[in-house]
Structure 1
């Protein structure tokens, strides 16, 4: 690799038009409101347009996607149907984000085809697209290798190869795949490698596969407003809608923007929120300007509370009512993160920003925290109890406000008349009015199912094997004064097992509801083929015993019976399936 290094300064007067980009690309940039290139863009774009190899040392959030996407698009040959550019990304999420960026920058170039290639997606979609012809392939190393081995991806005419977040790819174990792909692509191609760090393995790959490369180092300090409280919630993708719904229930917000990555997701999520009773609308790049202005006007006036938007659609949006921003899909670059949460906490006002982080996106959270210097506080998913307490609190506030109404005396006479005529206590009339007020939806949610306790070592009266006599973690003495906590336990047999497709949570839920049992009353659960063994308090009250004997699980009468096995006896290792807690 070349000894030539470049540490670009912040460009003062440089515009994208000064960098030599294709006119159609410049028009697309103007459409999305981009005018001034970031430091890495100003340094990288001319070098790539000249055909040089580039190593970019830059943190996430410095604008490196545009730094390689814009020159690639400017040099595409639309007549060539085989792939001309390959971008390797460490994760599916980043691959999709890069694809979306290419499509955005190619909006004024009809006929450009970009294909995401990643694991978890069916091969059929990818094979069909490859047969029709694509110009740019963005994929994860593993799935790209699969296609190369199957002979379904032809890279013989490849002209551009980009390694995006190369250090992350190596951390995830893709080093061998990356080197194989580099070795199997044409020798005369232009390579751009971007990495937040420069470990020895990256340095070795650079020297081996990049000739006379220009090394560009960008240090970026991106700050966020101190008026914004920043939090994150670890959540799986299928849980996101439920998590957002719960947050909307408990957070005291005025107006909110929920950011998602794609246009389709804006419409789908807004529809799901409306179905749950929230005032929500979507804006994205496909929404006409007149409709966009109408929607933003409704948000400003209070007729609309939640806006579901993409980054581009929310650009330049300044609405005083926005108290909260939710990153439903966490952005893959810090610049977008700062731009998004900057929609709240403006002009000295306070604001809240909440980011959903899936297990595979933890590295994005770390990148944002490192780049901004602002740690995001972890929050917990609001519980049913939290939601019910919030609903009751809001009802209290409405009642308090109504007590100051000028119409209070009129309605007091109406209630007094009803009490006299029907001989009903005033408290019952108030409760009936609350039922009328709630409508078809219940005001309070049902309690969440009781989960089986964690399978931790338990020691009721025993010492450990070393005879220390110290209580073990998880002893029932430490679980409070709930019925059965600390008392003797016995093993009971119930006539449902694996063939009835029963799970521990169903057993706990049914027995807790029917027998009035608490979380501390359950011990081990061993699900066997045609029956199950459950640890419960040894001295079950007669009423609970009778109720449990007639309980059904999955339509099957459980026929509860005692096996007279005490917890001091050895208990076989459970062979059950399902969650342990």
Structure 2
């Protein structure tokens, strides 16, 4: 639908200035329909999918109703997860940046209570939080509900699914009867309907008709992949796709851990997110994912709720979700803000029938595709290497090694030989070996070997693995790292990914503990977090890598 400009929705000048500064040209359909009645003080119920712009739809009218000279809580936003609460609170500050004295605070479990108490005592105009912790503050008396003008329930259906019904009802019952209620939900199920009937005041229902439940800019496909082949196929996809950020969804915490460790061992910039991760670590992981230090995030559905990052290019369903609606939520993480996106699902056996159910639910076809072959990945990486080399030559971005080249030419080597060897060395630097899998010999939907098919020869390949590691290490704070010496190097055939995987597995390190790894001929230099360095050295005593014993100690100086 064509929407009017923000200037015609009735917003005050300060909020229009913030919207213009953020680069929004026209409101989304949910914003155009929800903002005017919300500004008029009406209760509303917005049926809104992920990525539709609902945060601004409820935040802008909420901000317009605040009295910033009164340092008391006047608005409350309830969210299902800590991550969403943090993200919404950031959006409140961004959209209210021109208001000057706005004070909004995120409130959720797992964070220090004393810090939240200080923020509430200082006078927070807006409280954004999860139902459990917000109710805790209400019962303690640290949150005064008497002046709250607006209550917003973001993803109301998800909060009910997570078991927050009692907390939500107690919070809503404690608010002044004349307050405004804005309900937003992806579905109108029985629980949501009951909540609105009990606590809404004749809300205006706003629903945007969608012909398909998925974003049309998302390219969806499925690969028929056995469980034991998933890590290899995922690695090939990450190698062949040109993606800034990727998110991999698993159904269980155990699978998240196993997939993360396997990818770390192969040299990928990866981290995990699931219910057992501490809140401090969750926030650190999300920040590193947002700034690109981590390129691949492996997560469960609940842990990834509220993940609102526009730059995600690839979503992988490592495990197919049980619920078609979860599939919609997952792939909705990509293809945002006018960008194209790609969603890939791994299926096998009964999953194929579940995939057909998802297609019927979304009214969107999911094409079946052949697993990328080793040769395809190798070709794509070689093309990237060629393009990078051509760009550097064209722009003159290289150091002069004419003397070394002349020496090789004098010894009878041709320019073609020299260039070929250098290409090979670049490809092998930090590379990994492909694993042979059954899917290499099958067509999509075929369970047996392909007729006349032979196993592909294994070729070492690494492509731009080195670039990923270097980019990751550049984001590390070097003051928090200390160098360690490892008595194994290129001559022993060790790879950077093997060293990283061994250290994480042996010492059980928290993610982000390992920085840059430099391989020399007979040894290696590893940057690790200072607070775990001694533990790593102690735990690795007597360990082996590639069947070889090694010495790991603090780096005492040049030994290379």
TM-score (norm 1): 0.48
**Based on CA coordinates, which of the two structures has the bigger radius of gyration?**
1
TM-score (norm 2): 0.49
